[in-house]
Structure 1
Amino acid sequence: MTDHSLPVRALVRWALPVLAGCLGLTALAQPLQRANQLSMPMAPAGAAAGARTADFIVALVNSEPITNHEVRQRLRRIEQQFAQQGRPLPPRDQLLPQVLEQLVNERAQIQHAVDTGIRVDEASLLDAERSVAAQNQLSVEALRQRLAAEGIDRNRLRNDLRNQILLQRVRDREVESRVKITESDIDAYVSEQTGGAAANLMLDLSHVLVLVPENASPAQVQALQAKAQQVADRARAGADFAGLAREFSDAPERTNGGRFGARPADRLPDLFVQATRALPTGGIAGPLRSPAGFHVLRVNDKGQAGLPPASVVQTRARHILLRTGPQLTEAQAVARLEQYRSDIQAGRASFEELARQHSQDGSASAGGDLGWSAPGQFVPEFEQVMNRLRPGDVSPPLVSRFGVHLIRVDQRRDVEISQREQREQIRAMLRERKAEEALELWGEDIRGRAFVEYRDAPQP
C-alpha cells in the first residue's frame, strides 16, 4: 500500500463511544471529566421523585433541549466502559449530574462549530462509518445488519457520528492556534528528564540464564559456563536472541524470548546494570556469574525515563488490497482473499505474484511490498494485525476503512532513532499535553458563554 493509500490518520476517537452505547461491542466511551471540574446542577423544587418512564427535557442549552433519554444512553456507554475495564463504577446519583454536564458541554461546543461554519459532508460520514466497522472487526454491511438487529436506526448512528466529527473538528481548529512548542520548550523538558541521569536510566533487556545447581561440581560449573559462552558467541555473531532464549534459557522469561521489557535501572539487578550501562542498543554482555548461574544479556533499548526510546522496531510487510464497491462486496473480497491465502500456504501461488495480478493498490507492481514501516505509520486496524504476525506469516483477510487486505510480514529490525527524531517525538508529546490544557480552557470559555437552563433532574 502506498503512502497516499494507507496514510497516517488519527484514530477516530469519536467513533468508539457511539457503538459502545448502541451495541454490545468492545468499544470505549469518552472519559468523564473529573468531578471537581463539573458544576453540579440541582433539581428544581417540587421535581417528582423516583424514576420517570416517559422521556422529558432535563436541560436547555441555548434553547436546544437535552432529554433524559440522551443522559441514559450516555450513562449506559460509560457503564459498559467501566465494566470492560473492570473498574468500579461510582454510584449513579453521583454519576448522573456529571453525565448531564458532559452533554451540556458537548452541545454548546457543537452549536459553536455549526455557528462558525463547520460542516460535515457525506464522504466524511461514510469514512467514519467504515472506521467504526473496522475498529469493531465488522464489515460495513455487518455493522448495518447489527444495528438493524438491535432496532437502531442507521440515521441515528450517522447523526451521532456527525456530531462527533463536528466536535473533533472544532476542537482541533480552536486548539491549533493556541498551542506552540518551541525549541526552548524541548530543551527544558530534556534537561528536566536528564537531571538525575543515573536515577532515570531505563533499560530494556533480554537474557538467557543457564542455571547452576547447588553443590554443582567444578566440572559441572565449567560445562555450564561453556554452554553460556556458546550462547553469547552466537548472539554476538548475529543469531536471533529470542530464539536462543527459547532454546537455552532456564528463566521464566524464555517463553517471551528472554525479554524483561523496559524497566528503570533501580528495578534491575546491579550486576545487569553495570554490565550493560555502557553498551549500545543490540550489545551483548556476558556470560555473567550470579548465585543463580550464568547470564547472557542483550540490550534491546536504553534511554532516560520520560524520553523517547533510542530505537524502534521497524517492520517490512507486503499486502494485497481488494477495494469493495458495487462490483465486489466485502464478503466476496474476504472469500477471494481466503482462497489466495490457502493457495499461498499450499505452495500453489506466491504472495508477490498474486499481489501483482490482483492487488488494487500502488504497491501491486512491487509485489505488494510496503517497504520498512515504523510504529504508527499505518491505520490502527491494519497495524494491529501486522504486529501480531511473525516473519513469514500470512494474515487472515482483514477489513479496514480502505477495503480488505491480506498481509505478510517479511522482516523486522531494530533501528536507532536520531536525535532530531527524538526531539520531534518530544515535540509531539509536549504538544499533546498543551493541547489538553488548551482544550480544557476553551471548553470552559464556550460553556461560560452558553445559556443553560436546567429542568427536571435526570433519572436512570
Structure 2
Amino acid sequence: MHFKLHRKLIGLCAGLLISTGLQAQMVELDRVAAIVDNDVVMQSQVEERMDTIRQQLSERGTELPPEEVLRTQVIDRLVLESIQLQMGERAGIRIDDASLNQTMQQLAERNGVTLEQFRAALDRDGINYNQAREQVRREMIINRVRQRRVAERIQVSDQEVRNFLNSEVGRYQTAADYRLAMIVLPVSENASSDEARQQAEVVSDIHRELSEGADFTRLAVSRSGGEHALEGGELGWRKAAQLPPTFANAVADLEIGEITAPLRSPAGYHILKLLEKRGGDNLLVDEFNVRHILIKPSEIRSEEEAAQLIGRLYERIRAGESFATLARSFSEDPGSALNGGSLSWVTADAMVPEFREVMTSTPENQISAPFQSQFGWHILQVEGQRQVDMTDEMREQQARNLLQNRKFDEELQTWLLEIRDEAYVEIKS
C-alpha cells in the first residue's frame, strides 16, 4: 500500500514537473520584449507584428530587411503604440463595439466587399479577424489621442492664411496631388551637433545608394526612422499645399520615380520619392449646409454615457423636437452651438473623415444616425447642397485646413519624439 501510494506521488510530481516545464517553455516563448511605463510589450506581439510585416513586404515583392533590423523597427513601433494607448486610457478614450463594428463595415465597403467577404479574405491571408478587429480598435484610440494632443498644439493665424494664399504653393494648391514615399532620419531637438552630423552622413549614404539604383521601399523598411517605415515609407496622396514649402518645392521639380536630395526639417533629414502625380484643375466644389450636435466624453462622462445621450437626442429630434433648439441646449461645439449647431456652408475636405463620410451620404433635409469621430458623438442635419466656384472665402477655408494638416504632420513627428523621450522604456530583447 505504501509502495503504491509512493508510486502515485512520483507520478503526480512527474506530472507537475512536466506541467512546470511546459509553463516555463510558454513563458520563454511569450517573454517580455519591452517595459513601457505601466505596460509591457510581449514577445508574442512582436512576432505577430513581424509576421504581418513579412507578409505585406512579400506581397509587394520587397526584399526583407535583416531579422534584427525588422525586430528593432517593430519593437519601436509597438513601444510608441503602447505609450499612446496608455495616454488614451488615462484620458478615458474608449471605442465601443458598435463604433468598431461600423468601422470594420466601412473598411469592407472601401474594399468593395461585404463584411463576410472581408472576413473570408482575411482568413485566406492567414489573418485572424478578431485580432485584426482589435488592431483597428487600437489604431482608432491612437488616432483620437493624436487628434487631442497634437491638434491642441496647432494654431493657424489669419496672416498665415493670407501669406499662404499669396504664395506660389497657395496659388497652385489645386494644380496637382502627389503620391509620395519618404525615408526619414529623425533628429531630436535635444540632439548634439555630433548626432545631427552622423544622421546627415547616414542620409547622404542612403541617397547615394538610391541614386545608384537601390530599392527605395527596401531602404525605407530597413533604414527609415519615420512612422511609415514599415509601409515602405509610403505617405499616400498629398496636396502640394499640405507639404512643408521646402518639400513642396523639391517635389514639384521631380518626374515620376525620381527622388529629392536630402531635405532638412525640424524633425530630421528626409528623402522623398514621387510615385504618382495627378492634376486637380477643376475649381467647382460641393458645399453642404450642415447643422450638428456634438457630445464629448469627459472625465465625468464616459464614452458609453456620451453615446446614450446622443441617442436620446436623436430620438427626440425624430419625435419632432427642433434640431436647432436641442443644439443650443446640448451641443458641446462652442463654434456652432449658439447658432443652433449651424456650421453654415462647408466642403467635405474641411471635415474629419467620419464627419465627411456621413455628411456626403446623408440626403438633403435628413438627420443622420448618431456617429462617432475623434471629437466625440455627433448627429448632423444636411439642410442644403450646392456646387460653387472657389470663392475667396472658400479658398481661405481650404488654405486654413491645409495649413492645419501640414502643421499636424510636422507637429506629430516632434510630439512622437517627445513622448518617446519622456516615457520609461526598457528593451528586453
Q: TM-score range by the shorter chain?
A: 0.3 to 0.5
Q: Which has the higher contact order (CA 8 A, sep 6+)?
A: 1
Higher helix share: 2
Whose radius of gyration is greater, 1 or 2? 1
What TM-score comes out, normalization by structure 2 length?
0.42
What TM-score comes out, normalization by structure 1 length?
0.39
